[in-house]
Each structure stands twice: as structure tokens, then as C-alpha cells.
Amino acid sequence: MNPDKKRQSWTSRLGIILAVAGSAVGLGNFLRFPVQAASNGGGAFMIPYFISLLLLGIPLMWVEWTIGRFGGGFGHGTAPGIFHSLWEKNRFIKYFGVIGIFGPLVIFIYYTYIESWTLGYSFFALLGKYEGIKTQAGMQSFLSAYQGLEKNQFFNSILPSYIFFLIAFISNIVVVYFGVSGGTEKLCKIAMPVLLIAGIIMTIRVLTLGIPNLSKPDWNLVNGLGFLWNPDFSVLKSAKVWLAAAGQILFTLSVGIGVILTYASYLKKADDVALSGLTAVSTNEFAEVILGGSIVIPAAYVFFGPVEIANIAKSGAFNLGFITMPLILQQINFSAFFGFVWFLLLFLAGITSSVSLMEPAIAFMEDEFNIGRKKSVMIFAVISFILCQPAIFLLKHGVVNELDFWGGTFCLVLFGTVEVILFAWVFGMENAWTEIHHGADIRIPDIYKFIIKYITPLFLFLILGFWFIQEGIPTIFMKNVASTDKPFVLGTRIGLFLMLLVFAIMVKIAWRKKRVKSRNS
């Protein structure tokens, strides 16, 4: 890095907290979490969930905030440089850091398209585009036509969907174009309060639902909340439930991706990471457990009853958000307004997450190749736009599922394992503990020295092992992929491998230039 070049920085503590919380609070808080809870024992799911939060999520959060700030002091804002700063004697460790750039990019190239659906549906709610559709099948047909998977009376081409994708994509690019403080921080200072207010509005509306079907008084809110929160303790014997809870924690906190590393690299050496990180986690948990757990599933129970709600919960996050909720909201007063608030809530959750996914790749170009911010953003925009196209036009062939598996599941666990081992065992727990508390506003309980060094790595190894056995092997061998989709899935994998290879080559080139410059100086 050019020593005369000033790195990006946050203008306020609130800004970094809201930005990290914005990265964490995404579509998964309001769609994925209630599905996971309802499908894995209801209230009993919260036992492994909170254990995972304490032993996995919070420790990894502190690790990422700390090593991100540490690496930023050496002019590095991404995992290759940060890992190298932690273990300078190892010439290969920087290549493991490639995952921290690769993973966020992979998620971004499909997440932005899904995010654009929420923007489109917010307009459809106001315009009454899906008004009058009364069945799950009808709303599914509306969504499929919007995605370009079929043609019907609602849409005869993918053009409307593509237009909203362009709007969402350009909006993301514009935000990061203006930098960390001028773009991302300003967005999150506005979007996060609006998001939380919208979530509270929706929660209050759901909690004040009466009994719309007087002939079925058991279809009420109390039973709806009970469906989600009444515990089935027998599920705690299942490793699958524990894996689901741990996976949800990693997913919802955005740890193990590489984004928090980059955000924290813009901190100053004396900036607190202990309390700030914990505050960001608390904000995310409020959005997920309190708001996310009180909207979709309870409302669906009130309108569809105990039999249908089980099928709805198993139908997946997308169906919950884009099929079930529009049907529900049509049946209440001021349906257009509440429909708009719901999808605006999802869009804000989406965009505060997607802008964070761009930052590692952009910071990598800035820090390691001395490319200016605006030029780095434009390079990223062109390349990522091209990479987004398969997710849009090959959606029906399983491309998005494949991208989500490698970017949003496998890389997440693998990267988290590497960074906690590097932090606690290579950098050293005593050095790590001193670094965490540099400028800290709170004293972290000493028990977390033991947890970070032993429990969190063991937890991650167990997740990685069980996941590989239960899901990894079938996925790698495409056992659940239709024969017609296998060429597309294989093509996606080849593309991902080439992306990973390109990043590794870029790291090699960047460090070779550093060595040459060091010898000549």
C-alpha cells in the first residue's frame, strides 16, 4: 500500500455499529429465521440457537472486529493482507484469505437479484398489482412469471424483473461509490432506523390481529405464537437441529464471510471493538428474534390455521415472504400500505447487507493495487454485473442454490474456522486478549479466553464435519440435482473455481510487487 494514501474511515461510532448491524440484518432475519425455528422444534430451537450465539457467534464477532482493526493498522482491509499481518512468517496463509473476498462476491451476485424482488413487490403492493389473488397457487404463479419462469396474465417476460434488478444494482453501486463514510455510513444511518421502525409497525399490526375466521376461534394469535415458540424438547437429540441453529447464527451475524474484517479495518487503533461489536450483535438479535419471530409465522397461523401452517413453514423462506405474506396482507385493512411497509422493510434489510458484500473486493483493489476508490467501484460494477446474469436467467436450473451453497454455507464455515485458529493459536491468545481490550469500553469475561481458544474452534470443526457428512457429500456428487440441471450446476462450479483462481493469482501478483518495491527502496 502507498504509505501516503489515506484509507477510508468511519466518521462516528454509531456509523460503524449501524453498518455492521446493517450487514447482519438481512432477508434471513425476517424469512430464514422463522422457517428454521418452526421447522426445528419451535421454542426448543432457541436453546441451541442461544448456545451457538454465546459460544460461536459472539466470539467470532469479537475475533473479526479485532483482527480487522489490527490489519487496518498495516494498511490491509481484506483477509489476505490481514492474515499475512497475523502470521508474516507463513508465505501461504494469505491465500486462505482469498475466501474472505470470494465468498462475499459469490453471495452478492445472487443476493442482489433477490433483493430486487422486494423492491419490485413494494411497488406492486402500492399499485395493487397482485390484488385479488386469493390462493397460494395463484401467488406462486405471479412470482414465477415475475422471475421469468413462466408466462401468464401477470407478466409475459422477465423485463419488469430485470428493470427492478437494474435499479437495485445501480443503487448498490452508487452507495459504495461515495465511500465508507459518504456512502455506506450515510445509508445505514438512515436505513437502519427506518427498517427497525417498519419492523415494529409490522409486529404491532400482527400482534393486534383479531380472529378473522369467527367459525374457527382456535386460529388465533396466541396459538400462532405457540406454534413458533412452544418447545418440542425431543428435537434436541438431533444433530441436524444443532447444525441448523449454528448455521443460522453464522448466517445472521455475517461472521465467517469477511465483511466485518473489512469494515473493522477502517477503525482507528484506539477505537473500541468489544462493546461496539456486542451492540451490533444485540441490534441484529432484536431484529431477528423479537421482530422476525413475531411477524410471518404468527400471522400465517391466524389466517391459514394449524394444518396449512405446517406446510407453509416447510415451503421455504422465499415462499414465506413472497407468497404467504402478500396473501395475508390482502386480508387486513390498509393492505396496500402494510404490503408496502413489509417489502420496504425487506428491501432495506437487503441493501444494507448487499453494500457490505461489495466492500471486500473493492478494498482489496484499493489496498493491494493502489487503485482509487471510484475506479475500483467501477471495475467491480462491470465484473459483478456480468457475473449476476446466470443467477437471473438460469434461476430455474439451480444456479442460485449452487451459489448459495458454496458462498453462503461452505465458505462461511471454512473461513470462520481458519480465522479463529489463526487468531487464538497463531497470533496467540494472550496477544489476542490484549488486542481485543485495546481501547475497549467493557471488560470481556475471562471465560471467553477459554471459549475462543478451545470451544469455538471445536464447535466449528464439529459443524464442518457433520455438515460434510450430512449435506456436503450429497451436494458435491449432485445427488439431489435433476439430470437436466447438472450441466448448469457443473458450469457454475467451474466458474466459481475460476473466480477463486483469479483471486489467488491477484494475491500472488500483489505480494510480488510488494517484494520488488521493498528490494528497490
Selection from 404, 291, 297 nearest residue 348 by Cα: 291
Alpha carbons 495 and 431: distance in angstroms, whole number: 40
Report phi then psi at 478, rounded to 5: 55, 40
Site of grid cell 482491509: 77
pTM (predicted TM-score): 0.94
Q: Which of 92, 17, 16, 30 is nearest to 287 (CA)?
A: 30
Q: Are 71 and 261 in contact (CB under 8 A)?
A: yes
Residues 257, 164: Cα–Cα separation, whole Å: 27
**C-alpha radius of gyration, the chain, whole number:** 23
The pLDDT of 78-86, averaged and rounded, is 95
Q: What are the Cα distances from residue 485, in Å, to 473, 478, 479?
A: 18, 10, 12
Residue 490 scores a pLDDT above 90 = yes
* Residue tagged 445472521 (cell numbers): 252
Cell numbers given for 262:
473489512
Write phi, then psi, for 231 (nearest 5 degrees): -80, 140
Task: Give the three cell numbers for residue 259.
Answer: 465483511
Rounded to whole angstroms, the Cα distance separating 421 from 154 reads 52
Query: What phi and psi values does residue 42 have, to the nearest 5 degrees?
Result: 60, -125
pLDDT of residue 94: 95
Mean pLDDT, rounded, for 385-393: 97
Single out the residue of 14, 374, 381 nearest to residue 188, CA to CA.
Answer: 14
Confidence grade of residue 3 (pLDDT, cut at 50, 70, 90): very low
User: In angstroms, rounded to a whole number, what is the distance separating the alpha carbons of residues 414 and 90?
Assistant: 19
Supply 139's cell numbers.
401467488
Which residues lie closer than 8 Å to 395 by C-beta, 6 or more apart? 147, 148, 149
Give the distance between the most distant pair of CA atoms in the chain.
84
3-class DSSP assignment, residue 231 = strand
For the cut 60, the answer to whether the pLDDT of residue 4 exceeds it is: no
Whole-angstrom distance, CA of residue 47 vs CA of residue 234: 12
Return the amino acid letter for 368.
Answer: E
Is the CA virtual torsion 355, 356, 361, 366 positive or negative?
A: positive
Task: For residue 397, give the amino acid letter.
Answer: H
What average pLDDT does the segment 431-458 reach? 96
- With cell 500483489, the residue in question is 510
User: Which alpha helices (DSSP H) does 455-485 contain, by range?
Assistant: 456-467, 473-476
For 450-469, what is the mean pLDDT? 90
Chain-centre distance of CA 499, in angstroms?
20
Between vectors from CA 247 to CA 243 and to CA 249, what angle results, nearest 5°?
120
Q: Give the Cα separation of 443 and 429 in Å (integer).
A: 16
Q: What is the pLDDT of residue 428?
A: 95
What is the residue type of 103?
A: G
Q: Which of 42-46, 48-52, 113-117, 396-400 is the least confident region? A: 42-46
Q: What cell was used for 514? A: 510488494
Confidence at residue 5, expressed as pLDDT on a 0 to 100 scale? 60
Copy the grid coordinates of residue 54.
454465546
pLDDT of residue 521 exceeding 70 = no
Contact by Cβ (8 Å): 161, 391? no
Q: Which of 37-41, 335-339, 446-450 has the lowest mean pLDDT?
A: 37-41
User: Strand, coil or helix: what is 495?
Assistant: helix
- Tell me what percent of the residues of the chain surpass a pLDDT of 70: 99
- How many CB atoms are closer than 10 A to CB 464? 16
In angstroms, rounded to a whole number, what is the distance separating the alpha carbons of residues 16 and 8?
12
CA distance 42 to 53: 17
pLDDT at 16: 95
CA–CA gap between residue 266 and residue 197 (Å, rounded): 28
Helix (H) or strand (E) holding 207: helix 186-207
Average pLDDT of the residues of the chain = 92
- In 3D space, the residue among 174, 168, 186 whose CA is nearest the CA of residue 109 turns out to be 168
pLDDT above 90: residue 311: no
Q: Which of 44-48, 374-378, 442-446, 504-508 has the least mean pLDDT? A: 44-48
